[in-house]
């Protein structure tokens, strides 16, 4: 299994980046968010990868951030969500936006992605929201109950951010230490983004 690629960008196009490593160009399916974050052609870049093996093809997917890779794996674990649909969703929504939409049951936001209809959006929310239930965390529609289960310093925004991060596989015990010092009056999406950044920099 290829964990990552570190080499020279030799080609990009919508949802595709080619990185040359040791004289071999690796074509990776990727998101528009990753492409926007990568340097220019001819410069060095590193992406985290995930290989999909099917009967008729082997496809390599690459992402600039681990959180985006984790979201991709979660999405493609859902029946009816293939690599291209997952890439379309993550091209439209950053990980923190996706987590918040799922936590809030916001299917309309998911349907902004190409190839995602209302039924599929609802299925994604239903299956990934199970992660919140397994962790004993309420969804965003029940902020008060969620906050009661967290630290007394938590606010509604913090509890909602914790619930959204649970969608990405992070337990409350894992994320709360990284939320120390974060302005609790910030929008939930920014709290999530700052927490993910803090986790990634550790």
For 62-105, the DSSP string reads EESSHHHHHHHHHHHTSTT--HHHHHHHHHHS-HHHHHHHHHHT
Question: Is residue 86 one of the residues assigned to a domain?
Answer: no
Structure tokens at 142: 């029940």
Nearest Cα neighbor of 171 from 130, 137, 197 is 137
Please report the pLDDT score of residue 155 as a whole number.
Answer: 56
Confidence class of residue 163 from pLDDT cuts 50, 70 and 90? confident
Q: Dump strand ranges (E) for 22-122.
A: 24-29, 44-53, 58-63
Q: In this structure, is residue 69 part of a structural domain?
A: no
Same domain, 117 and 202: yes
Q: pLDDT (tens digit, 9 = 90+) per residue, 110-158?
A: 999 999 999 999 999 988 877 655 444 444 444 344 433 444 344 578 8
How many separate domains does the chain show? 2
Write the DSSP symbol of residue 155.
Answer: -
- 59 shares its domain with 98: no
Q: What are the pLDDT digits (tens) for 3-40?
A: 999 999 999 999 999 999 999 999 999 999 999 999 99
Q: Are the C-beta atoms of residues 4 and 46 closer than 8 Å to each other? A: yes
Per residue in 69-82, pLDDT tens? Answer: 989 998 999 988 99
User: 15, 44, 63: which is the final residue of a domain?
Assistant: 63
- Return the CATH number at 21: 2.40.50.140
Q: What pLDDT sits at residue 202? A: 67
């Amino acid at each position: 299994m290829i964990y990552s690629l570190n080499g020279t960008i030799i080609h990009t196009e919508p949802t595709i980046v080619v990185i040359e490593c040791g004289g071999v160009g690796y074509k990776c399916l990727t998101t528009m968010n990753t492409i926007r974050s990568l340097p220019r052609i001819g410069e060095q870049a590193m992406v985290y990868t995930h290989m999909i093996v099917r009967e008729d093809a082997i496809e390599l997917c690459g992402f600039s951030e681990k959180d985006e890779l984790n979201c991709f794996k979660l999405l493609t674990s859902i029946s009816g969500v293939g690599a291209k649909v997952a890439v379309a969703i993550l091209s439209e929504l950053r990980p923190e936006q996706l987590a918040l939409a799922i936590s809030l049951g916001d299917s309309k936001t998911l349907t902004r992605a190409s190839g995602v209809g209302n039924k599929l959006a609802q299925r994604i929310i239903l299956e990934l929201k199970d992660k919140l239930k397994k962790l004993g965390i309420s969804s965003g529609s029940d902020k008060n109950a969620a906050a009661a289960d967290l630290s007394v310093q938590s606010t509604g925004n913090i509890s909602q951010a914790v619930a959204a991060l649970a969608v990405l596989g992070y337990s409350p015990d894992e994320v709360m230490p990284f939320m120390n010092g974060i302005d609790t009056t910030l929008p939930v999406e920014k709290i999530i983004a700052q927490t993910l950044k803090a986790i990634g920099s550790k």
